Chain A
Amino acid sequence: MKRTAAFCCIAAIAAMAAFASAPVASAASRPKTARGPVELRAVLKDANGRALPGALVQLFVTTRFFGVSREALIDEKRTDAKGVARLTFAPAERGKYKGVVRFSGASIFGPSEQPISFDVRAPAVVWKQEPLGVGGVWARSWVILIPVTAVWMVFAIAAWQLRAVRAAGRRPRFVRLDEESLTPIEGVR
């Protein structure tokens, strides 16, 4: 017969920077607030209150995908010697999140889960949005800019010939006086 393991507490939410000193909350169901990536400490204990090490704990967050509400697997970790698993979640949008931390059961222990909810005030920066800034956009730009500039300079040299053509056409034209006749300069129509 399987024995029941229980989450005695699904702990708290803290910013990643405050990982080491994350406070432990006593109740999981009460909404917590967070800024940036969220860390959840899940403590797994058996019916006698003893920590359950090496157990796989999964974090699911309820999400709507193409109009259907479902649970999305966000993170999974194994509990340490104290039965603690640190699960992380980087929400891209602010708002209230609901989910569940689940232990599917292992060897003699049956499954167990604990619902959670929390309020994200500022979403985590999970990707850089454009514009990427000078470093991102212009990195190695010379690979493109040098050949394009070179081609445009060659075009400019060719276009410069037009100026010379025009200037030559504007200059007053003379005829050469030969001994016998007036002959147009070679090339003049």
Chain B
Amino acid sequence: MSVTKHAMLARLEERVEAPLRTSMGTRGRVVVVALSALVVLGIIAWVTQLANGLAVTGMTDRVSWGLYVANFVFFIGISMAGTLVSAVLRLTSAEWRRPITRIAEMITVVALVIAATMIVVDMGRPDRLLNVLLHPHLRSPILWDVLSVSTYLVGSALYLYLPLIPDLSRLRGLAVPPWKRALYRTLSLGWAGLPEQRERLERGIAIMAIAIIPTAISVHTVTAWIFGMTAREGWNSTIFGPYFVVGALYSGIAAIIVVVAIVRRTFHLEEFITERHIRLLGTLMLVSALLYAYFTLSEYVTIGYKLAVGDEALLHHLFSGPFAAVFWTIMLPGTVIPIVMLSLPRTRTLRWIVVASILANIGMWLKRYVIVVPSLALPQMPVQWGIYRPTWVEWSITAAAFAAFALLLILFSRLFPIVSVWEFEEGLEATSPLATRARKRERERERVSVGASA
């Protein structure tokens, strides 16, 4: 490795280790206090709900799912893209992945924790949570979801942990409080970079990179089936599984872009996470956005063409009725405008890609709301539409969920390296002139041997 690259690596180590060594600045503390206040508000709201029952929410016997389930589906979507993007880029040996995989994997684990919490909150009687395991009903999509989410949580935690080990071994000698040092020592499993250790670690990462892809897809497919297995207008669709997967990819990549941009700026990682990384992520997001738009068109055109009685009422409510403002926000600022912004060379800059990502995430959260609420509000008997107005309890818990998501990401970035330094180093070695020459020699040898055998 050249001197320049050595210096670059040293700078990266310094930037990544700085938040682990030093305490938070004033601005950071203000952010943490504000987020913590929201989380406390959410806890107060939840305690109110536990004490008085779900009657304190806007949910009724008609609209029995609301913000909690919308949040659950949204966070599951965010979680899907993180690990999926990391695993796919790793398996395809995309070199540009190296500074962003850790952030993507971290988003997955944190989003899954929040999503699982939303289900507990939605239950109203969390003391009955264990009944899912004590009295399992294997024909129920709810149990499938519990199985797939718990499997995915364990898998993605393992997938996050494996590439952390070499970086944790670097931190053993860091000037940090003793408990942190003990944590790094324990978690690094005596890593010394031995060839045998490296081989085992890479084998573990490769196995997980392959296994996590179908697991991630299954999680969102099964979440879609909770709706799709029901003969209810707006949910009764055969494409709900792939539609949810594509939507999850779209919102997940958008979330990665936003978090990567914040991390890049906060930890001064502009040298390592360049605008090119954001643009490449933007390209992935554009592809998923186009797929999502295609699925949306397919879904509404087939329903609208047949126009069954219930579907007609639902579409009327979505297109021009009480949900029209939300629906068209999803369609225009949530889908069309991000596609335009990501397509035009003029707006394919860091700032506009981040703006497009924020719009996409707002749109996708609203989409989750529109999937859940109008279909439930639609009457199944000749009676009035169900009414759902979320109360302060639901809004507080929703705000707390997003605040907890941000807080957990901050906590992670203060405890563990936010960029995979050893993988970045490996990338530098792979692009060094020596390595390039060696690869060239190898290719020539292969060509000669192929020629000889021919």
Report which A residues bind B (CB closer than 8 A). 130-132, 137-141, 144-145, 148, 151-152, 154-155, 157-159, 161-162, 164-166, 168-170, 173, 185-189
Contacts and interface: CB of A to CB of B under 8 A. Distances in A.
Interface string B132-160: 00011111000010011001001100100
B189 interface: yes
A169 B151 CA distance: 29
Q: For chain A, what secondary structure do more than half of its interface residues adopt (helix, strand, loop), or is it mixed?
A: helix
B190 A151 contact: no
Interface stretch (B12-20, B204-212, B329-337): B204-212
B196 interface: yes
Given A151-B151, A155-B151, 10 more contacts: A131-B135, A151-B214, A158-B158, A161-B203, A161-B207, A165-B190, A168-B194, A169-B194, A169-B197, A173-B194
Contact of A144 (B144, B194, B196, B203): B144
B201 interface: yes
Nearest to A137: B137
B86 interface: no
A144 B207 CA distance: 22
Contacts of B196: 164, 168
Nearest to B198: A187
A150 to B, nearest CB: 9
Of A139, A140, A164, most buried by chain B (CB within 10 Å of CB) is A164
Interface of B: 135-139, 144, 147-148, 151, 154-155, 158, 162, 165, 169, 189-198, 200-201, 203-205, 207-208, 211, 214-215
30 contacts: A131-B137, A138-B138, A139-B139, A151-B151, A151-B211, A151-B215, A152-B151, A155-B151, A157-B207, A161-B162, A161-B200, A162-B204, A164-B197, A164-B200, A165-B165, A165-B189, A165-B197, A165-B201, A166-B190, A168-B192, A168-B194, A168-B197, A169-B189, A173-B194, A186-B195, A187-B194, A188-B193, A188-B194, A189-B169, A189-B193
Contact of A158 (B147, B169, B194, B208): B208
B342 to A, nearest CB: 34
A187 B192 CA distance: 8
Contact of B158 (A148, A155, A173): A155
A11 B154 CA distance: 65
Contacts of A132: 137
A165 B211 CA distance: 20
B76 to A, nearest CB: 17
Contacts of A158: 158, 162, 204-205, 207-208, 211
A156 to B, nearest CB: 10
Contacts of B191: 165, 169
A132 B196 CA distance: 52
Contacts of A137: 136-139
Contacts of B169: 189
A141 B138 contact: yes
Nearest to B151: A151
Of A154, A159, A165, most buried by chain B (CB within 10 Å of CB) is A165
Contacts of B148: 148
A155 B200 contact: no
